[in-house]
Amino acid sequence: MKDKVVIITGGTSGIGKACAMAFGQAGAKIVFSGRDAQKLKLTADELTQHGIVNLPVKSDVSIEAEAQQLIQATLAQFGGLDVLINNAGISMRALFQDLDLAVIKQVMDINFYGTVYVTKYALPYILKSKGSIIGVSSIAGYRGLPGRTGYSASKFAMQGFLEALRTEVMHQGVHVMVACPGFTASNIRNTALNANGNVQGESPRAEEKMMTAEEVANRILKATQKRQREVVMTAQGKLTVFLNKWLPGLTDKLVYNVMAKEKDSPFKTINK
């Protein structure tokens, strides 16, 4: 990663911030985006304190023009691009029957279209450098999770998009990878949207028992260096992918039972 230029969307917290630190400490020059100017500055200061060359860019990647500006700012500062990590994302939790459809649109705009927009404008430069395009996905991209219809749809869409893109560029030296961390201690559940599009506020899961964002970032770094096709990071995730392929009916029941045990699960109203 020495002197490689790496863009990380959603880089001011959680997995994105941890990736900025991990790739930066491996020698890369880091460009990271976010929508909060204060968080961008705090993250930039922290990276600088660790001796990491970095460029914070205020950008909402769900808006095409701002995604394009992110790439333009990178080129203006560093003159090229080697790795794109599509990490910006938002989650949701509600039964589809109760859900305001605007919530699904918002999740798709950030998780899917954000990936499409940034990748579109980054691709010519990734082709030139024969670099890497990475999508930070989820087990929800392999197996639909009840109560998270919009989130699952966005991750399925992301993975289908990247799989098709990988095939298109397979003879052009570009590496395309999907990284699926499983449940990770980050703020994505705290900022998840409820049925009405409001922020959930409190995580329904035991965050302290999950894989840390730093561990996820280090695995993404190593998998990028090895140019792996995909990386599923937890035993639970690998088992879910396997069972869903070979025993889908059983997996329906198992996944339902696991999600129904969450704090304030929306399924409790059905089960009464």
Model pLDDT for residues 4-55, shown as the tens digit of each residue: 999 999 999 999 999 999 999 999 999 999 999 999 999 999 999 999 999 9
Tell me, what's the pLDDT at 141?
94
Distance CA 28, CA 221 (A): 11
pTM exceeds 0.85: yes
Does pLDDT of 89 surpass 60? yes
What pLDDT does 243 receive? 94
Percent helix, strand and coil across the chain, each rounded to 5? Answer: 50, 15, 35
- Rounded CA separation 263/94 (Å): 13
Q: What confidence score (pLDDT) does residue 184 get?
A: 62
At residue 18, φ and ψ (nearest 5 deg) are -65, -35
d(Cα 3, Cα 24) in Å, to the nearest integer? 9
List, in order, residues 6 or more apart from 65 with CB less than 8 Å away. Answer: none
CATH of 5-234, one of 3.40.50.150, 3.40.50.11290, 1.10.357.10, 3.40.50.720: 3.40.50.720
Q: Which two tokens stand for residue 205?
A: 């899961």
The residues assigned a catalytic role are 151
Per-residue pLDDT averaged across 186-196, rounded? 67
The encoded tokens of residue 103 equal: 């919530």
Q: How confident is the model at residue 170 (pLDDT cuts 50, 70, 90)?
A: very high
Give residue-wise pLDDT tens across range 218-251.
Answer: 999 999 999 999 999 888 889 999 999 999 999 9
Q: For all residues of the chain together, what is the average pLDDT?
A: 91
pLDDT at 93 over 80: yes
Does residue 227 come out as left (phi exceeding 0), alpha (psi in the -120 to 50 range) or beta?
left
Structure tokens at 250: 């059983």
- Give the pLDDT of residue 271: 54
Dihedral of alpha carbons 56, 61, 66, 69, sign: positive
